Amino acid sequence: AIAAIGGPRARILAVEPLPALFERLAYNIGQSDFANVKAVSCALADVDGEVTLFVNTYNQGESSVRIVSAEARVEQLQVRAKTLLSLAHEEGYSKIDAIKLDVEGAEDLVLDPFLSTAPRTLWPRLIVMEFALLRVGAQLEQRLRGLGYREILRTGENVAYELAKEETPA
């Protein structure tokens, strides 16, 4: 759906750390008409290298670099990880229009180091993420507001923030 909205000039990066889900993602991209979507097999985290992914065996979509649920049956898997900034540099991005994060409670691990080290020109104009699982959601939301993001949408599971345009002196 995002590829259709972005149109043929949009560059879309889909990141998936679980090998089986990555294979399905890559297959689905290959079957679509959207040549502008690229799949990358890694986790987004606060470090480059290898991280432990906690895989919910009953719902792999709830896998995370954080333990999300004490009740879930979890297996641990070592996966390659990249920071958002490293991934953006490696893929040659000079700007990010939008990012949809679905990292199951690790949004701050992805966004905090990025917003601390990336030039403001690389900050996404739009950030969409789940908020139901954010254990540190209040702190992250407060930080985003302090950096010039404003909430523009909240649904049952997601929240969207837009980066305010910087005023240029007259």
User: Which residues pair with residue 38 across a beta bridge?
Assistant: 13
CA separation, residue 120 to residues 14, 17, 33, 106, 116 (Å): 22, 27, 33, 22, 9
Q: Tell me the pLDDT tens digit for each residue of 29-59.
A: 888 876 788 999 999 999 999 998 888 777 6
The half-sphere exposure of 115 on its side-chain side, counting CA atoms within 13 A, is: 19
* Residue bearing tokens 């020109």: 121
Q: How far apart are CA 120 and CA 106, in angstroms?
A: 22
Q: How far apart are CA 77 and CA 54, in angstroms?
A: 7
The pLDDT assigned to 168 comes to 44
The pLDDT assigned to 48 comes to 96
Q: Tell me the pLDDT tens digit for each residue of 154-166.
A: 988 889 999 998 6
> Residue 12, Cα to own-chain centre: how many angstroms?
12
Sheet holding 43-44, edge to edge: 43-44, 74-82, 49-56
For residue 40, the SS3 value is: strand
The pLDDT assigned to 56 comes to 78
The amino acid sitting at 156 is G
Collect the ranges in the chain with pLDDT lower than 50: 168-169
The pLDDT assigned to 50 comes to 95
The pLDDT assigned to 110 comes to 92
User: Which residues pair with residue 60 across a beta bridge?
Assistant: none
- Spell out the alpha helix ranges (H) of 32-136: 84-90, 107-117
